Amino acid sequence: MTPAPLAARLSIPSGPLFFPVTAYRADGSLDLDVYRTHVRRGVEAGAAAVFACCGTGEFHALTPEEFASCVRAAVEAVDGRVPVVGGAGYGTALAVRYARLAEAAGADGLLALPPYLVVAGQEGLLRHYREIAAATDLPVIVYQRDNAVFTPDTVVALARTDGVIGFKDGVGDLDLMQRVVSAVRTEVPGGFLYFNGLPTAEQTQLAYRGIGITLYSSAVFCFLPDLALAFHRALATGDDTTAHRLLDGFYRPFVELRAQGRGYAVSLVKAGVRMTGLDVGEVRPPLHEPTEDHVRQLALLIERGHALLEEDR
């Protein structure tokens, strides 16, 4: 797949962008059969794309060999129905290695995660992501968060880089993002893509929509796909009444629960997947499982989510 077709397929998605969790057995080893089931169910539920082995998929916890196996399994489960985008991260040499593993496994694109540990200057960050983009023929989406925060000028330079098709924001600075969007629109003609990549992005998506960013990741889709689809449809059709009802009834309390534990953006989602019928195992260290009380609260929220959907029927 060339950059243009992937960008076109992502630009007006038919459903949420799906970030599957990675499935483990009780002994902590990969469970690729369960992982394929998780990915396949997501696509059948209406996902517009699968982002394999990214943040929700515990990229940080996977060996290169496990990463390659997971991306390959996602490609097999998807069977060409939607694009598969693989994560790539750590230092430049390892990020390039992961990019090439994703390409060999059949991925359609890359989500370039922040580099490991160091806080680099803009020149170094630009060089890092350009080397990732040059390493394969896969189109690249650059993920801004943590130690990889970009000036508008740097994003303009990224948008001019062959193979870089988009920019995902995990910082949440709307003033910065408005300046980024404006600078790229002014300096680089064409359809550069932007994504809201904050945890539980639905919570902030109305604000991002206000500055023209309509694409967002959905971790909730992992365990409540019908609710995530309902919210996606509400945004697409301008049905703010439904969007507000889902925000007030489910997303806000879920975000408040998620804020009660470090790493809950992954472990709480994984608990939700288990709770809704698929044993994907626990998270790997250094993440930890939610407390029993938080799991009980999650169960009540899932019930509330189903009740909200029934109100629409």
Would you please indicate which residues are annotated as catalytic (active-site) residues? 143, 168
Specify whether the CB–CB gap between 125 and 154 falls below 8 A: yes
What number of residues does the chain have? 313
Name the phi and psi angles at 48, rounded to 5: -90, -20
Q: Which H or E element spans position 129?
A: helix 122-135
Q: How far apart are CA 27 and CA 14, in angstroms?
A: 37
Written as one string, the DSSP assignment of 65-88 is: HHHHHHHHHHHHHHTTSS-EEEEE
Distances (CA, A) of 141 to 109, 281, 285: 8, 29, 27
Q: How far apart are CA 52 and CA 18, in angstroms?
A: 8
Which residue is listed with tokens 């950059």?
Answer: 3
Q: E strands within the chain?
A: 17-18, 49-52, 84-88, 109-112, 140-144, 164-169, 193-196, 215-218
Structure tokens at 189: 């003609």
How many other CB atoms are there within 10 angstroms of residue 86's CB atom? 31
Q: How far apart are CA 228 and CA 175, in angstroms?
A: 27
